[in-house]
Amino acid sequence: MHLIPPVRLRYFRQKLLQWHERDNKRQMPWKGEKDVYKIWLSEIILQQTRVEQGLPFYHRFVERFPNVQSLAAADENEVLAVWKGLGYYSRARKLHHAAKMIVENGSSFPNSFKTLLELPGIGPYPAGAIASIAYNEAVPALDGNAFR
């Protein structure tokens, strides 16, 4: 693997940020969010789902389950009903199970990449995304598209 010279890396970062700001910045309700619950929820909903498809589900989920306590207290059938139409129902079941684990642990979210991996439904990509966004942990969030 060749290392990119720092001067080229700075140039690349600058161009990428300019491109994002100028032409490709999408407004999404979780951008700029620091509530780990909402970050977690967005990452799970968007797994194998286009943003346009996931947005209404994100809004419905946050409206019905505004925090991890309300999600944990819900009946699984209610969680699945709000998830209905998004597919991959195992994601909803794991999300619900993880919410119960979090509440049983005093409602404290795992606060590192390593401890996030202990939750059902959390693999390396969502753990990296959540840890870097919510906790500013310097970990990668590389999905299958980035690897390809």
43 classed as catalytic: yes
Active-site hit among 21, 33, 43, 104: 43
Report CA-CA distances (Å) from 57 to 11, 14, 23: 38, 34, 26
d(CA 17, CA 24): 10
- Token pair 């946050």: residue: 62
- Give the chain's largest Cα–Cα span: 54
> 4 — phi, psi (to 5°)?
-85, 130
What is the set of active-site residues? 43
